[in-house]
Amino acid sequence: MASLNMGISYSLTYEEIDRVVADNRIGNYAYGYLNAQGTFIVKYVGRSDTNLKERIKHGIEDMEKDSSCRFERFKFSYATTAKEAYEKECRNYHDFGGTEGLLINKNHPDKPAGYIGSCPICEN
């Protein structure tokens, strides 16, 4: 079974993000919701190469603009480098159905600045 490797989920609110996510850190995140069984359903995966806390807050703004975005909760993890965050985002994207259209993500993750190489999963 696929895993985000991100720990528990949190309510997607500005207050909760400010409480649990450190400032100016590189990392990964996922937006989603809990189903009736309490399982986190992944709808979007992403990363930030500079400030994870501020990037996660974009999910709240996306929900306000587009009612099809059902982002009630988020998960996150820190990374030590942009390369590490990119490669984890690629794994999460492929593991949770990005290429099959199961995620809201419209495109494959972008490479970070200066990244030499290809996606570790699909070689894009």
Domain 10-95 has CATH 3.40.50.360: no
pLDDT in tens, 67-117: 667 789 999 999 999 999 999 999 999 999 988 888 999 899 999 999 988
d(CA 69, CA 85): 23
Q: Please state the separation of Cα 47 from the chain's center in Å.
A: 6
d(CA 56, CA 61): 10
pLDDT in tens, 7-43: 999 999 999 999 999 999 999 999 999 999 999 999 9
* Statement: the pTM of the whole predicted model exceeds 0.85: yes
3-class DSSP assignment, residue 4? coil
Contact 47, 53 (CB under 8 A): no
Count CA atoms closer than 13 A to 38's CA, side-chain side.
Answer: 1
The reported pLDDT for the residue numbered 73 is: 95
